[in-house]
Amino acid sequence: MSRQTNRGTESKKMNSELFNLTYGSLVAQLCKDYENDEDVNKQLEKMGYNIGVRLIEDFLARSNVGRCHDFRETADVIAKVAFKMYLGITPTITNWSPAGDEFSLILENNPLNNPLVDFVELPDNHSNLIYSNMLCGVLRGALEMVQMAVDVKFAQDTLKGDSVTEIRMKFIRRIEDNLPAGEE
């Protein structure tokens, strides 16, 4: 089937400006639809979650990545394979907690606000808006589908004057239940 031959990663690349601007127009629309920034943040996270639970299927099908054995491996796959595949960047993994259940992804260039052209500027009256909060939802949703409950949030944001963008990820627990009997 022609669909199968289309599965390579290269053939699925598209213009990122369309993607970035589209994301921007969505954020702008949400700012219109909701009264305060917290609600917008929440909605972005929720939409990201919906995307994440679907995106994981695409990711597993295209990347040939198997089950991760620990959270460090998960971090590697996210930064080096997933971010690379979908957003064309490779964040740095740092700040491991001693217990190994928490780490940070450092994004020098946040792909959602195309750093090359400074598409995005937060107006003064939206100081609480977490512009790229959708990313957190995507990560949470995708990981939930592979039985990992993870807390994801922005710790630093270049849009707010920080020098880098930092996403903090904290492993909460393995989701063990609701597998039908006989399945792995």
Partner 1 sequence: MRLTMADETLFALLHMEMISHAHKSAGENDEDQGKHIRILEGMGFRVGQGLIERLTKDSPSFRDDLDTVKFICKDFWTIIFKKQIDNLRTNHQGTYVLQDNRFLLLTQISCSKQYLEEAPKFLAYTCGLIKGALSNLGISCTVSAEVPVMPTCKFQVVVSKN
> Residues in the site for partner 1, rule: CB under 8 A?
12-26, 28-30, 33, 43, 47, 50-51, 54-55, 58, 85-89, 109, 111, 114, 116-117
User: Cβ 182 to partner 1, closest distance in Å?
Assistant: 31
User: Cβ 29 to partner 1, closest distance in Å?
Assistant: 6
User: Cβ 169 to partner 1, closest distance in Å?
Assistant: 19
Secondary structure string (H, E, C) spanning 74-143: HHHHHHHHHHHHHHCCCCEEECCCCCCCEEEEEECCCHHHCCCCCCCCCCHHHCCCCCCCHHHHHHHHHH
Closer by beta carbon to partner 1, 16 or else 147: 16
Closer by beta carbon to partner 1, 104 or else 137: 137
User: Cβ 105 to partner 1, closest distance in Å?
Assistant: 17
Residue type for position 98: P
Closer by beta carbon to partner 1, 71 or else 135: 135
Closer by beta carbon to partner 1, 91 or else 111: 111
Query: Which tokens sit at 58?
Result: 């695409």
Tokens 């939802």 belong to 137
| CA gap 42, 45 in Å, rounded | 5
